[in-house]
Amino acid sequence: MARRRTVQFTATSAVAGFVIATGAVAAAGPWDGGQRKAERVRAVTAGRAGGEGHAAAGRGPAAAPPVLGALRAGRPGTREGLAAALEPLLRDPALGSEHAASVVDVATGEPLFGAGQDVAYTPASTIKLATSAAALAALGPEHRIETTVADGGAGRIVLVGGGDPTLTARPAEGAGPRFASLADLADATARALKARGVERTTLAYDTSRYTGPAQHVIGTNENLAPVSALMVDEGRLDDSSRGPADRTAEPAADAARKFAAMLRERGVEVEGEPTEGAAAPDAARLAKVASAPLADLVERALTNSDNDIAEALARQTALASGQPASFEGAAKAVTDRLTAMDLPMGSVRIADGSGLDRADQASAEFLAHLLARAADPKAPRLRPVLTGLPVAGFTGTLRERYARDTAGRATVRAKTGTLTGVNTLAGTALTPTGRLLSFAFLASGTPSADGAQQALDRLASAVASTLD
């Protein structure tokens, strides 16, 4: 039976960046023409004493085959080697009183190592892997979330939220996917109104696409805004784009006020304060903007452990599945999509999209098999689950982990999970012989987050060092 953990919440870390080539870390941007650089370049170069490969002085990163290319199936000796390497590491007191492990051969889907692999644990943010896979299965990687403006009649327009937490009121910056811009929406709306001869209007905002409570069970928290179908910049009250930040208590109303100000700047007078109100189903559409493709949203959610995007992905899955776009409806929709993938679901309970809810439960074997499924050539729409994984020592929540002399540096890509007393890591490891293995390590009752993270990193590095 699934067991709940009841220790107190601590924030997951989230840092920026998407890179993999050792010699290009400082200069490379997150995306390159819509494709992750990590799909084409590995940070594994000519050998050096100590077992780690790094580019020689004055040389650029070495080119290498794609991460998912030429996978090799394991041999019996691999199982013996993994057991010999992992079992002593699992006895580390830093992993706490309860822990589990699973390693799977991605090429075959065969389990290579397991320890308590079918037992339910609180997965923390590694549940975002499940949320992401379900959303991709339901909607596909090219799906975009639209924010629209509709004619409300009687001199009123309605700003209609579609559930895009990345809708931004800020100017575009740097490379990467182009998130939907509230300014662009204001431009298009002003043009449409002026073409009709309208220079004065009132503004309503529509959040009816989502239902149920907006507040997560953890309550007001700097890691997640109230979940709303309409918000800008994830409801952040500062200029941050990732990680903890103070959040507005009314994301939809704040977004509408910013939109009204933009319309005024464009010569359309908005009378009074925006009010909440639904657009008619057959209302004429005046303007729209669309989010980056779902693949980009998934990558951002996984690399930066973005809770707001993760909750939006869960609700988009609910909408695509005919379920209410609430915490409860999203949990059912995600569970149904995962069940249809024929994964080991016996210990799985989905309670939210982000992993902040301790009612979430998952087993190590479920997470390891889910990652292996994401690499299956027959399931190409799941591939962003892998390309979004932080790269050890370089990007996202693993950027500050895995020192230069660590075996897993650059060859481990994994989603982290952190709550008070709970530390998890699930991802893939590329071995010296070119095999891709998926793994999941779950620990509960950990005495120190730092100590547990180091122990988990040693486990992942051991998987990356596997020889066959």
Distance separating alpha carbons of residues 436 and 428, to the nearest angstrom: 7
Distance separating alpha carbons of residues 295 and 14, to the nearest angstrom: 19
The dihedrals phi and psi of 197, each to the nearest 5 degrees, come to: 80, 20
Name which of 445, 384, 385, 390 is nearest 416 in CA terms.
390
Of 305, 347, 438, 461, which residue is the catalytic one? 305
Of 13, 37, 102, 125, which residue is the catalytic one? 125
Name which of 284, 271, 290 is nearest 185 in CA terms.
290
- The two three-digit tokens of residue 303, written as one number: 């690399």
37 an active-site residue?
no
125 an active-site residue?
yes
Distance separating alpha carbons of residues 228 and 162, to the nearest angstrom: 9
Burial status of residue 254 (CB atoms within 10 A of its CB: 0-12, 13-18, 19 or more)? buried
Name which of 154, 397, 373, 437 is nearest 277 in CA terms.
154
- The two three-digit tokens of residue 465, written as one number: 């060092």
Of 128, 241, 354, 415, which residue is the catalytic one? 128
The number of CA neighbours under 13 Å toward the Cβ of 437 is 33
Instruction: Describe the chain by its helix, strand, coil percentages, rounded to 5.
Output: 30, 20, 50
Is-contact 362 127, C-beta < 8 A? yes
The dihedrals phi and psi of 204, each to the nearest 5 degrees, come to: -120, 165
The dihedrals phi and psi of 200, each to the nearest 5 degrees, come to: -145, 135
Distance separating alpha carbons of residues 167 and 387, to the nearest angstrom: 23
Orientation angle between helical segments 294-303 and 127-139, nearest 10 degrees:
180
Burial status of residue 200 (CB atoms within 10 A of its CB: 0-12, 13-18, 19 or more)? exposed
Distance separating alpha carbons of residues 392 and 405, to the nearest angstrom: 12
CA quadruple 123, 126, 127, 130: dihedral sign: negative
The dihedrals phi and psi of 330, each to the nearest 5 degrees, come to: -65, -40
* Residues annotated as part of the active site: 125, 128, 305
